[in-house]
Amino acid sequence: MEPRIVLFEDHLLDDMTPISLTRPAFAVTCACYTLWDVARAAGGTVSWIVREHLVKTTAHQAPRPELDSSAPLLFLNASVVPDIRYAGTVRELWERGEPFVATAGSRVSAALVPAGTALPAVLTAEGVTPWLLEMKLPLHEEELFRTLDHQFEVVKYLEPLFAENLAHRVRTGSYQEVAPRVYTADNVSVARTAVLRTRDGPIVFEKDVEVADFAYLVGPVYVGARTRVIERASLKEHVCIGETCKIGGEVEASIVESYTNKQHHGFLGHSWVGSWVNLGAGTSNSDLKNTYGEVRLEFPHRRVETGMQFLGSIIGDYAKSAINTSIFTGKIIGVSSMLYGFVGANVPSFCNYARSFGQITECPVDQALLIQKRMFARRGITQTPEDVALMKDVFELTRSERLISDEPPAL
Amino acid sequence: MCGIFGYTGSGVSPDALVEGIKRLEYRGYDSWGLCLAARDRLSLVRRVGRIGAVDPSTLSLENAAWPSGIAHTRWATHGAPTEINAHPHADCGGRIAVIHNGIIENHSSLRAGLVAKGHTFASETDTEVIPHLIEEILKTETDFPAAFQAALRLLTGAYGIAVLWCGTPDTIYVARHGSPIVIGVGKASTLVASDPAPLVAHTRDVIYLDDGEAAILHPDGFETKNLEGTPVSKRVQQVAFSLPDIERGGYAHFMMKEIAEQPESIRNALRGRIVRSEGTAKLGGVGDDLLRKVRRCHIVACGTACHAGMVGKYLLEGLARIPTQVTFGAEFRYAHPVLEPDTLVIAISQSGETADTLAGIREARIQGASTIGICNVVGSTIARECGQGIYTHAGPEIGVASTKAFTSQLVVLSLLAVHLGRMRGMSLRAGILFLDALEKLPGQAAEILAGSRQIEAIARKYADSRDVMYVGRLYEYPIALEGALKLKEISYVHAEGVQAAEMKHGPIALVQPDVPTVVLAAQAEIRDKMMGNTHEILARSGKVIAVAQEGDTELAALATDTIFIPRTMDPLIPILAVIPLQLLAYYVAVERGCDVDKPRNLAKSVTVE
């Protein structure tokens, strides 16, 4: 029999904002894999339980087999770090069949629910962890899985995971090694003048990738299907680009999710950038403090020590930056926000942030939807009622974030 | 712990009900009430205070024959001892009256649902949900016994219940889950009570209901069922005890009864407070907003409660990493305590009336610190003046030497520490392991009590000693102090509790062949150090009574006598390790012919400075 895996979200996702506002935690890319990919690599069937506002859009993208306890079910927290080595752990735990519950910090990371267990009629994201703990399954002595507890950890885990995850892709995918440690899928075009350095890691291009003249890539680098690397772009070490992106300027140790444009010059370093983001020409972020000290994240009423010397920005889906936007070290930019000038503070979702010009205003959800529709059309995608509903839900979910911000928008 | 009494058949009157619950007053005495049933009418009386002095003729009730009646003497758990909170509690229509002993754990959610359906609650008690719940079910279920059974199936927690419904005025509906219920079978009457004390005036034929059983009492008999409605056959037994014996639960002294009650009192202190799904504790009486801002704790207490506080310091510092200080109540005011706005002052007092502790919290409030009380008596002065707090739910403690109240205080402090710990970075796993260990304590306490005979034999062996030393480290040091205090107060033997490492700085000079030392060596972390102490005492011809974790054969081979306690986590060892010391003190006192329940020169509650 094949493993039966259930990826479940829990109630501890607030600190993953804005990354997890618009996608399930198992769909967050880190080092060229999501946890969904890792679970699929374990073999068998993968089902999921996500927060209510994500159910419909997730169902469009991932099949959801009915939960059935005729065989043991391996519940895996959707926030588990997408480390491909966990695929083997998951499979082994399922095959061993011994019931357990494992924790990581303050959350349940995994549990093996024995066959024949009566499943609740409805299992919600808030309900899974209490249900698993109330069953009093044996507490596993080891931590087993690490979890992404804060948004900045997506960047923190990028480098440690990159080598193994990329090597697994190369081993299991259909690529040609067109040059030493340069792997390409079908129909990849790399300009003769492009420079590809692979001494410290491989470079992998998915199908239909175009790499333009004078691009300079230093592995390990992963570039998703249909993405265009613009002329003179510089992608340096631990760069992971999604599908259908346009990437220019200088990018270092960063993740860019699909359908995002960073077409022009400007530096992006040690950052995570969501989908459908557009960074205008000259947009740059800082990833190192002048003091060379640890980067701390500032939130209303609390400060989070990251333990990282290099940390750039976390930029939510649909965010846009104007020309020459400068984002300070370790700033969190919310979903559908628009940036102008200097960005010296975290920006809540749905904000027009033009602090340099004295203005921070709320970005109406209707405007965000109009922009979404226009962007989708450029990529041949139709805006669905589910897309609209998700945007409106996220707008409501982030209302309080705008109100308690250090610099609340003028409403 | 409360007392319930019900009576159907010939001879039911206010006099008879009052007489019945007077016999149960040792189970609770902060308020009382009774209800008499007639066709389509219930007459209800409730009062605050002891029932002892009440003249039934002043109750404005017809002292004639009534078909049935129920009465209750209360030991408050939810809601202060007021007339509104006294039992019986009635439904909106005033047709159903309920008396209850125990705690309904899901009362908040039931209450919210019933309020949403239009029910109006008069009291703050958990009990009041029961009559309203039955009333609600009766909207769709015409058969009262079926509605009663359906309501029982919705309750979680502990209960011994008696219910009157004016639709069947000569019938009493009773049920048991976790709290005792005894049915008395008379010639023309049937009775119910929490224990046989009020029954023996009417009959010596009784039936003990088991958990999950219900009964319907008529004047001429009764029927017993389980919660699913299946008939259950019960055996009639003869009560052979005298009245004082019954009040002491068959034990020779209240102190022994209370020692033996600890599995139940520990369970009651934990009841409804463990949230395994979050690896933490739920402490309804203390707001999380207050606990989140705490940076320091200052525990104020006297006597045994102060020993609990000393364990509390280790718990709060070890689990929650909050710097904690413990001060005797009498010293607190005069020691110029440094209290910042984010200091939490925790007052511990069984009675809630301890004068020195009370003065301490008043001083703390003047200085602007937040205060919480850990008390056993609901609505007591300390509980009220602190504003927030956690009740220990140990039930009335009659014996002057505190036993079950102490272990309940330790349980509550453990719950507070794990809750604060989880707020401050303690992992979910650590929280769950701690809670699971807490849940095992009632069973482990019962295991220790099952070995009482061995402890009695050890007590006899050393009963003639003039001096006894108790030594321990870390979590067991306060238990050494408590063990010595127990021995002193009830057996009048001089005893000293010493921090074990301090022995060589002086007290070891007292070691002689006729001065036995109780060595507390159950903690894993410092067990080897305690082995060293044991060697030092034995090398000076001292005798060692070791309290060790089960399986520690190495220590047992070394010690003169060994008492094993079940394995648990180090922070919870005090809760188990103190029980053998309570038994040791008790049996020594009995052997020496001392008045265990009323030791000389002492009072139960010290309400003077």
Q: What is the pLDDT of residues B158-180, one digit of tens each?
A: 899 999 999 999 999 999 998 88
Chain A residues touching residue B428 (CB < 8 angstroms): 103, 105-108
* pLDDT score, position A406: 58
Cα–Cα distance, A140 to B51 (Å, whole number): 55
Beta bridge partners of B299: B326, B346
Which residue of A11, A100, A103, A132 to mutate against B (max B Cβ within 10 Å)? A103
Q: What is the pLDDT of residues B355-393, one digit of tens each?
A: 899 999 999 999 989 999 999 887 778 988 898 999 999
CB pair distance less than 8 Å for B277 and A139: no
Closest listed residue to residue A348, CA positions, set A409, A286, A278, A266: A409
Q: For the sheet containing A182-184, what is the strand order?
A: A176-179, A182-184, A203-205, A221-223, A239-241, A255-256, A272-273, A313-315, A331-333
Reading chain A (411 residues) residue by residue, the pLDDT tens digits are 789 999 999 999 999 999 999 999 999 999 999 999 999 999 989 999 999 999 999 998 888 888 888 999 999 999 999 999 999 999 999 999 999 999 999 999 999 999 999 999 889 999 999 999 999 999 998 889 999 999 999 999 999 999 999 999 999 999 999 999 999 999 999 999 999 999 999 999 999 999 999 999 999 999 999 999 999 999 999 999 999 999 999 999 999 999 999 999 999 999 999 999 999 999 999 999 999 999 999 887 789 999 999 999 999 999 999 999 999 999 999 999 999 999 999 999 999 998 877 778 899 999 999 999 999 999 999 999 999 999 999 999 999 888 766 566 654
DSSP code string of B495-551: EEEEEGGGGGGTGGGG--TTS-EEEE---STTHHHHHHHHHHHHHTT--EEEEEETT
- Among this protein's residues, is B166 annotated catalytic? no
Total count of residues recorded for chain A: 411
Residue B210 has pLDDT above 60, yes or no: yes
Distance of residue B282 Cα from the nearest chain A Cα, in angstroms: 14
A105 token code pair: 């910090």
* pLDDT score, position B447: 97
Give the position of tokens 């049937």: B190
φ/ψ region of B138 (left if φ > 0, alpha if ψ in -120 to 50, else beta) reads: alpha
A133 interfacial to chain B (CB closer than 8 Å): yes
A379 token code pair: 């990529």
CB pair distance less than 8 Å for A133 and B277: yes
Q: What is the pLDDT of residues B434-446, one digit of tens each?
A: 999 999 999 999 9
> Please, what is the average pLDDT of chain B?
91
Which residue of A106, A146, A302 to mutate against B (max B Cβ within 10 Å)? A106
Give the position of tokens 């509104």: B84
User: CB B501: neighbour CB atoms within 10 A?
Assistant: 15
A119 interfacial to chain B (CB closer than 8 Å): no
Distance of residue A94 Cα from the nearest chain B Cα, in angstroms: 21
Q: What is the pLDDT of residues B295-323, one digit of tens each?
A: 999 999 999 999 999 999 999 999 999 99
User: CB B120: neighbour CB atoms within 10 A?
Assistant: 9
Chain B residues touching residue A107 (CB < 8 angstroms): 428
The HSE-up count of residue B428 (CA atoms within 13 Å, CB side) is 23
Q: For the sheet containing A100-104, what is the strand order?
A: A45-49, A4-8, A73-77, A107-113, A100-104
Region of poorest pLDDT, from A294-298, A331-335, B199-203, B239-243: B239-243
Distance of residue B431 Cα from the nearest chain A Cα, in angstroms: 9
Q: What is the pLDDT of residues B503-547, one digit of tens each?
A: 989 999 999 999 999 999 999 999 999 999 999 999 999 999 999
| pLDDT class of B228 with cuts at 50, 70, 90 | confident
Beta bridge partners of B113: none
φ/ψ region of B248 (left if φ > 0, alpha if ψ in -120 to 50, else beta) reads: alpha
Distance of residue B275 Cα from the nearest chain A Cα, in angstroms: 9
Chain A residues touching residue B277 (CB < 8 angstroms): 129-131, 133-134
- Cβ contact B380:B396 at 8 Å: no
* pLDDT score, position B13: 86
Share of chain B above pLDDT 90, in %: 71
Distance of residue A11 Cα from the nearest chain B Cα, in angstroms: 11
CB pair distance less than 8 Å for A103 and B433: no
A271 interfacial to chain B (CB closer than 8 Å): no
Q: What is the pLDDT of residues B119-161, one digit of tens each?
A: 999 999 999 999 999 999 999 999 999 999 999 999 998 899 9
* pLDDT score, position B285: 86
B439 interfacial to chain A (CB closer than 8 Å): no
Question: Which B residues, 257 through 296, put their C-beta within 8 Å of a C-beta on chain A?
Answer: 276-279
The answer to whether the complex's ipTM is over 0.85 is no
Residue B290's φ and ψ, nearest 5 degrees, are -65, -45
* pLDDT score, position A317: 98
pTM of the predicted model, to two decimals? 0.79
- Among this protein's residues, is B2 annotated catalytic? yes
CB pair distance less than 8 Å for A103 and B276: no
